[in-house]
Structure 1
Amino acid sequence: MAQGTQEVEVKYRVADLAALEDALVQRGVSLSATIRQDDQAYAEDGWSYGNSKIGVAFARLRTQQGRHLFTVKKPLDNEMACLEHETEVADREQMHQAVVAMGFYPTVRIVKTRRTGVLGDMSICIDEVEHAGVFVEIERTVHGGESGAAVQQELDAVARSLGVELERTTDTYDSLVRAALAPA
Structure 2
Amino acid sequence: MTQGAQEVEVKYRVDDLGVLEAALAQRGAHLSAPAHQDDQAYAENGWTYDHPKVGRSFARLRTQDGRHLFTVKRPVDNSMACMEYETEIADREQMHDAVTLMGFHPTVRIVKSRRTARLGGMTICVDEVEHAGAFVEIERTVSGAESGAAVQVELDAFARSLGVDLVRTTDTYDSLVRAALTPA
User: What range is the shorter-chain TM-score in?
Assistant: over 0.9
Q: Residue type matched to 2:182 in 1?
A: A
Q: Distance in 1 between matches of 2:3 and 2:127?
A: 27
Q: Which sits farther off after the overlay, 170-179 or 140-149?
A: 140-149
Moved over 6 A (4+): none
Kindly tell me the number of residue pairs found equivalent between the two proteins: 183
Partner of residue 105, structure 2: 105
CA shift at 1:145, angstroms? 1.2
Which runs of 5 or more structure 1 residues have no equivalent in the other structure?
none
TM-score by length of 2: 0.98
Find the residue that maps to 2:176 and give its secondary structure.
helix
Query: Is 2:23 the partner of 1:23?
Result: yes
* Counterpart for residue 160 of structure 1: 160
Structure 2 residue identity aligned to 1:152: Q
Structure 1 partner of 2:183: 183
Distance 1:145 1:3, change over 3 A: closer
Q: Matches of 1:144 and 1:122 in 2, distance apart?
A: 17
- TM-score of the superposed pair, with normalisation by structure 1: 0.98
- Corresponding residue number in structure 2 for 1:150: 150
- Please tell me the root mean square deviation across aligned C-alpha atoms, in Å: 1.0
Aligned residues of 2:3 and 2:145 also touching (Cα < 8 A): no
Deviations 1:123-142 (A, max 9, x none): 00000000000000000000
| 1:131 matched to 2:109 | no
For 2:136 and 2:8, how far apart are their aligned partners in 1? 14
Give the superposition deviation at 1:3.
5.3
Report the Cα offset of residue 144 of structure 1. 3.9
Task: Give the match for residue 63 of structure 1.
Answer: 63
Matched residue, 2:141: 141
Secondary structure at 1:23 match in 2: helix
